[in-house]
Amino acid sequence: MASALTREQVATIKATVPVLAQYGETITRKFYHDMLETHPELKNIFNNTHQATGHQARALAGALYAYASNIDALGNLSPALELICAKHASLYIQPNQYGIVGTHLLETLKAVLGDAATPEIMSAWGAAYWQLANIMIGKEAGLYEAAGTWNDWKDFKIAKKEKESEEITSFYLQPVDSNLKLPLFKPGQYISVNIFVDELYGGVWQARQYSLSDAPGKDYLRISVKREDGVEIGDLKSKTHPGYISNILHKKKSEGDVVRVSHPFGDFFFEETEEDKDSPVVLISAGVGLTCLTSILNSLVDEDSIRPLTWINVARNTRVRAFKLHVDNLAARNKNLHAVYFSSNPSKEEVQGEHYDIQGRLDLDKISSEELFTNNDKAQYFVCGPEQFMLATEAKLKAFGIRSERVHVELFGTGGVPRV
């Protein structure tokens, strides 16, 4: 266990912030290259696409810069650490792997900086790395403990595949081990799905996080996965496409096939409290971002919640919009639920007022304050979709005077720090 940093070490780390701004990506690109060459088994953990595109290196460079910048105010990083540690837990990252990462990160830092990597700088960064690593190891140990005996990948059978739209298909996953009790996860959380990909590196496991799209308490875990166009399984150019693994699920995995699944994790979720059982909930999504919000909606309906609920969804058109019939049926049976649909590019066959309500991208100014509950200081807002959509929606809600603690945004990232 590393001791706390000295004042001198904190000052040294702060002094390296300009260096990280200039050379951060150079350091992290070389770090990943050298570490994966030395430890090819780690290719089973790291996202092949993010490695190939440099996204992982950029994310780590951003994380190192944020850490160095906040070395004397680590509380600023708490939200980002919660996100990263939840993702690490869903990949079953182990303490010994922090040792491998630390060794290669410090070696790379020294190699890139050359003579500028003085003993004082290397000592300070060694202490700083283990300060952060020990915080994360502790947080992840707590997550593993909470997961109980489900502490490694479990085999799940695809019990059913169900098409929800032209792009999105639901996968109903049931444990192969009939004795495995499914946890009462928090609505909004995700699982990692781990698939062996024989055409990458001669065969590696690749994991992706998918939000659970139904309420807890079922005899299955359901994910609803978007298929990206233009991906050909096995094609060299497609192997680094962000939708490669999701296309394997769509095109190669059938009912009865087995995939490996993690325990549910995630720091984005709805949780009932006694103080606000009657307060409104607004669920705002774009595209496949509706999956985790469907879990929240289904959970509230299953509990016969009397909360006022507003469902706001943006899609290009009806063909690619998932769960509309499901949500409409819920709204017909639950007078506390109101749905608003935006279509950014409706087809000629679609009828406004039937297939969608408002044409165009999301515009919260076109939704009444009664539907948004902007005058209710207890309303909760959950937002999920593309990153810029979420950040813009969050900013708009704050402009309405809604406090930041009432706006919940799902930012997956790749382990970087989206904002501090």
Catalytic residues: 98, 140
The total number of residues written for the chain in this structure = 420
Residue 18, token pair as written in the block: 């300009």
What strands, in cross-sheet order, belong to the sheet with 358-359? 358-359, 337-343, 309-315, 281-286, 380-384, 407-409
Sorted by sequence, the CB contacts under 8 Å of residue 357 that are 6+ apart come out as 340, 341, 342
Calpha distance 159→155 (Å, rounded): 12
Residue with tokens 């260096």: 19
Beta bridge partners of 313: 285, 341
In whole angstroms, give the CA distance from residue 364 to residue 9.
48
First to last CA, the chain: 27
CB 346 within 8 A of CB 360: no
Centre a 10 Å sphere on the Cβ of residue 343 and count the other Cβ atoms it contains. 23
Buried b (16+ CB within 10 A) or exposed e, 264-303: bbbbbbbeeeeeeeebbbbbbbbbbbbbbbbbbbbbbbee
Adjacent-strand bridge partners of 193: 208, 261
Per the DSSP assignment, residues forming a β-bridge with 162 are: 170
- In this structure, the number of other CB atoms found within 10 A of the CB of residue 212 comes to 27
Helix or strand or coil: residue 118?
coil
Distance (Å, rounded) from C-alpha 42 to C-alpha 34?
12
Q: What would the two tokens of residue 87 be?
A: 């993702």
Amino acid occupying residue 17: V
Longest dimension (CA), the chain: 70
